[in-house]
Amino acid sequence: MRRWRLAAGVAVAVAAASVATVIALPAGAETTAFTVTSSWSTGYQGQVEVRNNTSSTINTWRVQLTLPAGTTIVNSWNATQSVSGSTYTFTPAGWNATLTAGATTSFGFIANGTGRPTFPSSPSTPPVTTPPVTTPPATTPPVTTPPPTTTPPTGTTPVARNGQLRVCGVKLCNQAGQPVQLQGMSTHGLQWFADCYNDASIDALATDWKADLLRVSMYVQEGGYETNPAGFTAQVNSLVEKATQRGLYSIIDFHTLTPGDPNYNLARAKTFFAEVSARHAAKNNVIYEIANEPNGVSWAGIKSYAEQVIPVIRANDPDAVIIVGTRGWSSLGVSDGSSSSEITANPVNASNIMYAFHFYAASHKDNYRAEVQRAAASLPLFVTEFGTVTATGGGQVDLASTGTWLDLLDRLQISYANWTYSDAGESSAAFKPNTCGGSTYAGTGVLTESGVYLRNRIRA
């Protein structure tokens, strides 16, 4: 580890190292230190410590680094990232801006490529030396989670136990920096099944199913948001409040499906997310999913959309996790004959984000699972929707494939929401027909084959 002097109360330089080598600095200097925490044949994970070595409190900091051609940062956490050419600038995530005398904070990133960073030079800056990279025998790189930065929360509900979530490396982590896996259910379209989402049903999800998560799916077309923006926004807000009252995390899903290019709804997305992020900015349980299943559109088009919508949310809610849909109905491109490599080569320019993956167990099997395993080594993934049936939402329930999928997600610590927490007349529905609108939602008597399986799996 090498330490570097900061200038004018702001961190401006880091150096690459994977061994603990400390360079003596003048008394009173503020410093940063950079460590390669793990490396593999195509990239590495780095961590930067920012320390206030002065006797006074500083209210912000700034770290700049430049990467050589062929190396890019594909994900970062615990900092706000911007990029100009090959130079990356990191500033506080919000919660870690102020450092008292002697205090430290840290952030990390995943690099695609093996080139180490270089930094602004000064007369007192010692030369940078890069140690050799060790390649682990496995093809999947080991992931080292940044150490906890706050005291772990306590409580009985998922939100009380975990607090504000954030992305750390390729994992979803709680406020203490520990990896977490959320398991829950997704609503169906609010325009069709609003009566499924009352106090009794959300109580059952929280206390009988013991779920962590409610995904609120608001269709934009097909009789959804575009027909009554104010009314559907109010429905979403109401369900987020119900989830909040029960200590559940809530995904606000901007459910675009047809047309598949999310840019068609760009103006609507900006309006909607400006309103809901302003409403829920003070909450620590809200996750934003900005485009459900992009299809018939390139990754470049999806990325462009994301980089225009994310700043709208960040203007109100700088700390929330944001999920970006992927090509081919959020299949990481597999359903379009592509792969996640197009994302790792050209990631969304934003921090604290994850990428969506969807599967339907009877239709999507080994080749899709192989891509998820490969992608999870370098991208933070969230399965915001999956079914136990075919991609149509119906057909035979395939519990064998579903079990193989969920075993994989458990092993990789990838969070998920099942489609659907509804009484729709299709085999993917958790409730038997005509359950919604009644008074009983708990127990297995009201559940379909898919519902019984998911309830048991989540409870376990």
What is the rounded distance in angstroms from the CA atom of residue 294 to the CA atom of residue 323? 13
Helix (H) or strand (E) holding 90: strand 87-92
CA 263, 268, 272, 273 dihedral sign is: positive
- b/e string for 164-197 if b means 16 or more Cβ within 10 A? bbbbbbbbbbbbbbeebebbbbbbbbbbebbebb
Burial of 354 (0-12, 13-18, 19+ CB in 10 A): buried
Angle between helices 266-280 and 299-316 (to 10 degrees): 30
- b/e string for 304-343 if b means 16 or more Cβ within 10 A? bbbeebbebbbebbbbbbbbbbbbbbbbbbbbbebbbbbb
Of 342, 371, 385, 426, the catalytic one is 385
Of 293, 342, 371, 426, the catalytic one is 293
What is the rounded distance in angstroms from the CA atom of residue 380 to the CA atom of residue 290? 16
What is the rounded distance in angstroms from the CA atom of residue 149 to the CA atom of residue 48? 13
Q: Is-cis flag, bond preceding 388, omega within 30?
A: no
Q: What share of the chain is helix, strand, coil (3-state, %, to 5)?
A: 25, 25, 50
Whether 385 is catalytic: yes
Six token digits for residue 340: 């996640």
Number of residues written out for the chain: 460
Count of other CB atoms within 10 angstroms of residue 30: 23
The answer to whether the CB of 260 falls within 8 A of the CB of 215 is no
Neighbouring residues of 84: CB distance < 8 A, sequence distance ≥ 6: none
What is the rounded distance in angstroms from the CA atom of residue 248 to the CA atom of residue 304? 31
Whether 275 is catalytic: no
Residues involved in catalysis: 293, 385
